Amino acid sequence: MAATGKAADGTENVQLYPNASSMWLTPRQSMYVESVCLGFLIFFMILQFGKEGMSFQRYFQPGYIRKIRSFRVVVIMSLLRGLWTRNTTYSPFFRLFLLGTYLKSFQKEVDSFIRLLPQAATILSMLLVLIIFYGWFGVVIFSDSEQGIRDFSNLIEGCWTMWICVTTANYPDVMMPSYNNNRLSALFFVSYMAISFFLIMNLILASVVNAYDGTIGRRKQVRSDIAQESLTQAFELMDTNKVGYIDRKSIMALFLVLNEDFPEIRRLSEDETKLLFGFLDKDGSSRITLEEFQDFGNVLLLEFTSEAAYETMVQLICQESLSQSGIDDCVPSSGRQGSS
């Protein structure tokens, strides 16, 4: 694990860990592999560009897509530059950035993290001030002692010791030298832990949770706004005469288009389209207004199941016997009275 050798960028005497003391590819071979992978990515981007009609305006459309695709192009150009100059020192970071441009969940979490930083900045600054104060105070009270020489030799070392206490990585071992000499020195560390770990860290956790809850609510609102805007535009396109409603014939034609041209949407039977139109037409006027059309997306999510699928074996046998003989002996008298 401690072996050293030549890295992919040509640097000599570089520790090979975490490669388990083995280099499977030479520097030239690794560059060939990276060139092939970049070639596939560039070819895929060209296909996407062709899908957008070979239009830069459509490919780099305003908004979030423009930012992601522009950043992706910059990262790929940086990787190509590294291959051209044979300097791949920063290429691993660029590869991670490139992977992140294809992971939507990762992008959402990064956006959430950036948005919560301003909310947690105030509490983090309080923690920083507390660490600096206790670090300085520790340098003063533990000077010329075993504790001071080991953990509070200067302000930076004292702040680092206090940060270790916050993470509970070495607590209470960090205070044992002074505690063995004087039990009252425990007040210094106990008061610090009570304020920093049990109070400020909980405040940071609460701010992070609130920030994530706010982000989730904002995402839901954005999706709702986009859906309403898209449905409004679709309604205006279908309402060619600007009469403020869409007739039944247009809606049924829309269902047909969805069945033929959009395989990602489940195929709707004729009976299902009639039922869906009935759900949309709340006032029974056979006309769909803009307010009713706003529920189009929710209506498409409805699923229908035939009642026959829930019939028991006895009901099926009775129905079969009734259909063959025409005799209603299998039907209880109470059931016949109720049906009449």
Residue type, 261: D
Query: Tokens in use for 259?
Result: 């069945």
Phi-psi region of 86 (alpha: psi -120 to 50; beta: other; left: phi over 0): left
CB half-sphere exposure, 326, CA atoms < 13 A: 0
Query: Tokens in use for 133?
Result: 């104060």
Torsion of CA 98, 104, 107, 112, to 10 degrees: -170
What is the predicted pLDDT for the residue at 10?
66
Residue 101 carries which DSSP code?
A: T
To the question of pTM greater than 0.95 for the whole model, the response is no
- For the chain, list the domains and their CATH numbers: 4-102 (no CATH), 108-217 (1.10.287.70), 241-304 (1.10.238.10), 309-335 (no CATH)
What is the predicted pLDDT for the residue at 333?
42
Report residue 183: phi and psi, to 5°: -65, -25
What's the full length of the chain, in residues?
340
Contact (Cβ atoms closer than 8 angstroms) between residue 166 and residue 201:
yes
pLDDT in tens, the chain (340 residues): 566 667 656 667 766 656 555 566 777 788 888 889 899 989 988 888 888 888 888 888 887 788 888 999 999 999 898 888 888 778 888 898 988 888 888 888 888 888 888 878 888 888 999 999 998 988 888 887 887 788 888 889 889 888 888 887 777 777 787 777 778 878 888 888 888 888 888 888 888 888 888 888 888 888 888 888 888 888 888 888 888 888 888 888 888 888 888 877 778 888 888 888 888 888 888 888 888 888 888 887 777 666 655 667 777 777 777 777 654 444 444 444 433 3
What is the predicted pLDDT for the residue at 308?
57
Report residue 14: phi and psi, to 5°: -100, 135
